[in-house]
Structure 1
Amino acid sequence: MDVLLVDGYNMIGAWPDLQRIKEKDYEAARHRLIDMLAEYKAYTGYRVIVIFDAYLQRGLEKKHHQAGIEVIFTKEKETADERIEKLAIALKNVKTRIFVATSDYAEQWSIFGQGALRISARELLREIQEIERNINQSVKKDHQKKLSNRLTLSEDVAQIFEKWRRKDH
């Protein structure tokens, strides 16, 4: 199984669309990121966990699922980087490849030490954009295929069918 651990606020700070959204509403930026990651998960089949810093917040760690994505807010005095490192260790096994999406240089080196692979914020954004293009092209092809599968009828035959249709009602 492949697992993608995402440093949520790192992505929000690095992706231009999310930066614009967060200027008005941090929660909306988080939701948009999660929606994007849900499409990524659906397309790749990866298990996706997004971790948000709650370092300056009081209280316990909070976990929930949203759009099929595991969402974690770290506990008080725990950074997203620390939680990602713990998850990388906990999830590590022979059958699991762990990818960590972060552009934090110190975190990247720490992740390598745990045997995980890193994806920069820019690389993940490119992957998501490519997935969106592939999905759009697939939908467009399906739509065109459906249109081309329809029988074209001459005007005379179409009128005959229309008369039959109206007669039955």
Structure 2
Amino acid sequence: MKEFLVVDGYNIIFAWPEFENFKESGLEHARYKLVSILANYSHFSGQKVFVVFDAHQVKNSVERTETVDSVEVIFTQQGETADAYIESLVGRLSDEGVIYVATSDWAEQGIIFGRGAYRLTPGELREQVDRARKESQAHYNKALPSESYLENRLLDQVRSKLERWRREKK
């Protein structure tokens, strides 16, 4: 069964401490960093990730969607909140699999529960992302079985000499 993660982008940016310094210098870098973090998470978790950013107060903005490293990034149109878009998206995805929505907005959580989705608080999402990062590092840092063979740890000159001895016995 497919799993989807729908993230209220600015809600997470303003909740996670690692974005504290980005808020004053502009949100573009924070958006990029969040999408990058979630792309790594998506690759490890297997979830299809959507990140929704409000643009409802931006004059003449139109809805825009782009895919960045397997994460679907959505900017809402003028007059549409991320919450409204997320509610609609959850409704469209509800028959396709399990949906998790990451937000701290209580009103939003009530609506997504009613549509059959599960909620993740920003802290819970952070824990899942951290756990996935640690598991992936442990997975990729494992030594290959062949790396533990004695012959692979010998100096080249020692290996050559042993090989010569082996061939002389035949």
**Common fold: TM-score over 0.5:** yes
In the alignment, residue 132 of structure 2 is paired with which amino acid?
Answer: I
User: How far off its partner does 1:156 sit?
Assistant: 5.4
Q: Gaps spanning 5+ residues in structure 2: where?
A: 163-170
Distance 1:154 1:137 in 2: 28
**Residue equivalent to 1:99:** 100
User: Identity across aligned pairs (percent)?
Assistant: 38
| TM superposition score normalised by structure 1 | 0.86
Q: Are residue 30 (structure 1) and residue 31 (structure 2) matched?
A: yes
In the alignment, residue 142 of structure 2 is paired with which amino acid?
Answer: K
**Residue equivalent to 1:19:** 20
User: How far off its partner does 1:150 sit?
Assistant: 5.7
Correspondent of 1:79 among 70, 78, 81? 81
User: How far off its partner does 1:160 sit?
Assistant: 4.9
- Going from structure 1 to structure 2, the CA distance change for 1:154 and 1:107 (only over 3 Å counts) comes to closer
User: How far off its partner does 1:44 sit?
Assistant: 1.2
User: How far off its partner does 1:130 sit?
Assistant: 0.7
User: How far off its partner does 1:140 sit?
Assistant: 2.1
The equivalences for 1:125-136 within 5 A come to: 125-136=126-137
- Going from structure 1 to structure 2, the CA distance change for 1:28 and 1:154 (only over 3 Å counts) comes to closer
**Residue equivalent to 1:49:** 50
Distance 2:157 2:97 in 1: 63
User: How far off its partner does 1:154 sit?
Assistant: 6.2
User: How far off its partner does 1:57 sit?
Assistant: 0.8
Distance 1:159 1:74 in 2: 66
In the alignment, residue 7 of structure 2 is paired with which amino acid?
Answer: V
User: How far off its partner does 1:64 sit?
Assistant: 0.5
Cα RMSD (Å) of the superposition? 2.0
The size of the alignment, in residue pairs, is 159
In the alignment, residue 148 of structure 1 is paired with which amino acid?
Answer: S
User: How far off its partner does 1:159 sit?
Assistant: 6.7
